[in-house]
Structure 1
């Protein structure tokens, strides 16, 4: 994985039912993720959105792809 891809460690995720989640966006800075989260909360007030730090980028991407393929 290129170094550039490993720099975006902050994720905005949408929590779904049954302990599932979907990555909405990846950000390099926590403040960028917070700004995006505030905008999303105004657009989707009923959605459960949180910011998380992704310390294992490879594993998260493989989980995200598995969730996407399952739909």
Structure 2
């Protein structure tokens, strides 16, 4: 099975809505929602470092 990132969302509800549309348009294809927690951690690190620079 090949994985392909189709879209990225910040809110689960947005991702689920998009998934419903994909399932209607491409019913024979398997789709899944995957959460990337590493991206959130990197964003938190960037915000922390910017805050430290301001102080």
Normalised to the residue count of structure 2, the TM-score between the two structures is 0.65
Q: How does 1:14-33 map to 2 (within 5 A)?
A: 17=1, 20-33=2-15
* Count, aligned residues: 39
The alignment yields a C-alpha RMSD, in angstroms, of 0.9
Q: Which runs of 5+ in 1 are unaligned?
A: 1-16, 58-71
1:38 maps to 20
Which runs of at least 4 in structure 1 moved beyond 2 Å after TM superposition? Answer: none
Matched, 1:47 2:52: no
Q: Which structure shows the bigger proportion of residues in helix conformation?
A: 2
Deviations 1:12-48 (A, max 9, x none): xxxxx2xx30001100100000000000000000111
Higher normalized contact order (CA 8 Å, seq sep 6+, divided by chain length): 1
Q: Which runs of 5+ in 2 are unaligned?
A: 40-55
Q: Which structure shows the bigger proportion of residues in strand conformation?
A: 1
